[in-house]
Amino acid sequence: MRKVAVGAAVVCAEAVCAAAALVVRHRMKSSGRWAKVISILKELQEKCETPTGKLCQVADAMTVEMHAGLASEGGSHLKMIISYVDNLPTGDEKGLFYALDLGGTNFRVLRVQLGGKEKHVINQEFEEVSIPPHLMVGTSEALFDFIAAALAKFVATEGEDDNLSPGKQRELGFTFSFPVSQSSIASGTLIKWTKGFSIEDVVGQDVVGELSKSLERVGLDMRVAALVNDTIGTLAGGRYNHPDVIAAVILGTGTNAAYVERAHAIPKWHGLLPKSGEMVINMEWGNFRSSHLPITEYDQTLDVESLNPGEQIFEKMISGMYLGEIVRRVMCRMAEEAALFGDTVPPKLKIPFVLRTPHMSAMHHDSSSDLKVVGSKLNDILEISNTSLKTRKVIVELCDIVATRGARLAAAGILGILKKLGRETVRERENQKSVIALDGGLFEHYSKFRDSLESTLNELLGEVSEKIVIEHSNDGSGIGAALLAASHSHYLEVEEP
């Protein structure tokens, strides 16, 4: 009997030892996995670092590319497109003007009554219209006739206060946010469609001409006074409210910048110099690239797998379309190599662009003690449940690294523009401020991104930062286009004394 008892005790002891060994092995495996998670995070942090010196190099590279793009067509990654906008609004504009903002699956029509210096914008109304999917892949005539009919319907709602002077034709500012080659303030040929549109008979045609034909067909007497993109609209809206606005930057789903250049500093401009001596340049800065950009393996694979490999490198590092996707790619590696979310990689995590930047922003801004928002976003979007607090903390840190790099690089881009204009240094007896108008959902809604951009600009500019103002210019693509129709009105010369 005693032998049996001893044997049982030995078996029990062995079982306990085996269980203990299993726990130790599990802990070692777990700690090994966690070490790998931290290693991936630290490696990302190092590769995304943007010390002041590096940002200054990025800014200098931006300035060099700007010079090259202004010197000749195709001389730079930056297109530096001449916009033919040489008169920005001054605040003196008066009258009734319209705008059409076409940049996606919806378009907007706006009506603005301007009252000059004293009254500024007296009245502003708009309407948003969805484009039926079949018109996005149909014919030019079908699309523009649909838009013209919506405009005519909107014009028909003019009230008694919407005063159009007798004998005057209505004038329209047309924001067209697709690649065009412009030949004047009110003409431009479509280079290619993006954003789900594919209407072949418009490519290579003047989009203003196509719209004008449709306006005629629906019996609407309206002239397109200005063809602009959303960035130039933002610049116009900013200048209307603040005479010291020198540039505009869009930080939304995509990104771009436009600024006011001295006409004599544009070697590729062969026409007569404008009376104002100025010309607005559409930089198309999303296509900027430089060896100084802190590009990681995640950026490289994202680019290779994108619809436009090798293009828009800067945009892919700083804009709302891509920030969430970069975070997803890092999380995916953590799941594959370090089992961050368990022994299998969550299937949803493998889907490109499933994690959007608004989701990333919500997680990044989570200030609850248990990071509840992070937990719910992981569960709702990626179907990852029961995450530990330390896992959630890693996700917040990851969002911070990616957002901070993007914001700091955007600030470096702005510094590049200021350097090109000679506004980055303090000059004696010069009190003038330089205002940058910013718009876009990323800048407006992602406050940690916005705060990082502004603090980085202060860090880069030092004492000059007191003279540089970042101003949110809301809805530039709408009202800005109407203001440009006003500043390029046919009737300006007649009214001037």
Neighbours of 128 (CB within 10 A): 11
Length in residues, the chain: 497
**HSE-up (13 A, CA, CB side) for residue 404:** 17
Distance CA 16, CA 129 (A): 71
Q: What is the DSSP letter of 322?
A: H
- What contacts 58, CB < 8 A, 6 or more positions away? 290, 292, 293, 409, 412, 413, 416
Residue with tokens 């490999």: 309
- Are 115 and 95 contacting, i.e. CB atoms less than 8 angstroms apart? no
Q: Give the three-state DSSP class for 63.
A: helix
Amino acid (one-letter) located at 36 = K
Residues contacting residue 10 through CB under 8 Å, at least 6 positions apart: none
Q: How far apart are CA 293 and CA 312, in angstroms?
A: 13
DSSP string, 133-168: GGGGGS-HHHHHHHHHHHHHHHHTT--TT--PPTTP
**Count H helices, E strands: the chain?**
16, 13
Query: What are the catalytic residues?
Result: 108, 177, 230
Task: Indicate the SS3 state at residue 121.
Answer: strand
Q: What six digits make up the tokens of 401?
A: 């690294």
DSSP-assigned letters across all residues of 222-244: EEEEEEE-HHHHHHHHHHHH-TT
> Of 332, 361, 363, 401, whose CA–CA distance to 251 is shortest?
361
Extract the tokens encoding 39. Answer: 């290693």
Question: Measured between alpha carbons, how far is 182 from 81 in angstroms, rounded to an integer?
Answer: 8
The answer to whether 263 and 279 are in contact (CB under 8 A) is yes
Q: Are 162 and 96 within 8 A, CB to CB? A: yes
